[in-house]
A = this chain, B = another copy of it.
Amino acid sequence: MTLDDVARRAGVSTATVSRVLNDAPSVRPATRSRVLKAVTDLNYLPNEHARTLAGGRSRVLGLLVSNIENPFFLDIYHALEDAARTLAHEVVVASTGYVPEHLASSIQHMRARRLAGIAVIVSEIDADLAGQLVHSGMPTVFYDAPRLDRMPPNIAADYRTGMHRCVEYLRGLGHRRLAFVGHHTSLYPLNARQAHFVEIVAKARPALEYRIETSDDSPEGGRLATRALLASGFRPTAIVCVNDFMAIGVVRELLDQGLGVPRDVSVTGFDNIGLSSYTSPRLTTLDIPRARIGTTMCDLLVPEAPGHTGRPTDIVITPELIVRESTGVARS
């Protein structure tokens, strides 16, 4: 079934069929309906490849994330997809799993596919790849990317302020021995959240003791990091986690070692994923408005979007501290 078949059946030219399929103006209603009938009669479905090849544009957005298993990314994906759907766009995701090679190859695929735009949320991206993306000509938007000279719109979270709120809150509860559980990120020298934790904790007075442990971005990673931490003999009264996903495993391991949360050890997460209020105890965390991030990305990428400004606006999000049950006063 091709355009020609439809044209023949409707007794018009392929141009006309194409016009009604793309609802272009100036097609007489009678003609339009005749074509539409032929289309349904033949159960015709345009070939997307031919379409974008000829038209030069696709209606597909790409989303590049580090770890789709982490609900944080999944939520952004959802928001982006919903926003895209209202604009008749699709979105394809690629999860790099923090592996630079996967990142590079995913970028290749997306470029080869001439996507309408691409949203990038991978902490492991370096200036090189980011630059390559920007210069490829595709509309691009980054979330928390390393800053380049000539940058496209960037959505950033003020992790410094967020982390500051978290640490201050814990200090206020009397915690003086902290640990940070992070995840391995390949290229970005230090995970931004981790870097700010170190910076803030290091300059706190009276001085705070602290320790860092990293593992995979998963509950199991959180558990392993915690196990290593405790095995080292360091006894934090509070553990700050790079995100909720890992915090789930941190809490699990603590409980398994007979430590009460927050009785013996307080735990904080980051992101405020849905799951964080279903754990026992519920997680104290820092909220990041993921839906807003996804929607904004769509606005920035798609010209037809209602919120599209055209200007490469930078947007900054400040995490809010959400206190729940996993934190309490430090055990003396």
A219 to B53, CA, bound (A): 43
Count residues of chain A with CB under 8 A from any CB of chain B. 37
Q: Which residue of B lies closest to A135 (CB)?
A: B43
A78 contacts partner chain B, Cβ-Cβ < 8 Å = yes
Subset of 20 A-B contacts with CB under 8 Å? A45-B108, A46-B112, A47-B114, A48-B49, A48-B109, A49-B52, A49-B113, A50-B53, A69-B71, A74-B74, A92-B92, A218-B274, A219-B275, A219-B278, A220-B274, A223-B278, A248-B278, A251-B280, A255-B280, A279-B280
Q: With A48-B114, A280-B280 given, name 18 new contacts (CB 8 A).
A: A45-B111, A45-B112, A47-B112, A47-B114, A48-B109, A48-B112, A49-B53, A49-B113, A50-B53, A53-B53, A68-B74, A69-B71, A218-B274, A219-B274, A219-B275, A220-B274, A249-B278, A252-B280
Q: Residues 255-284 of chain A: 1 if any B CB is under 8 Å from the residue's CB, otherwise 0?
A: 100000000000000000011001110000
Assess the A109–B90 pair: CB atoms within 8 A: yes
Q: Which residue of B lies closest to A46 (CB)?
A: B112
Q: Residues 69-111 of chain A: 1 if any B CB is under 8 Å from the residue's CB, otherwise 0?
A: 1010010001000000000001011000000000000001101
Contacts of A45 in B (CB 8 A): 108, 111-112
> Which of A93, A255, A275 is the most central at the interface, judged by chain B CB atoms within 10 Å of its CB?
A275
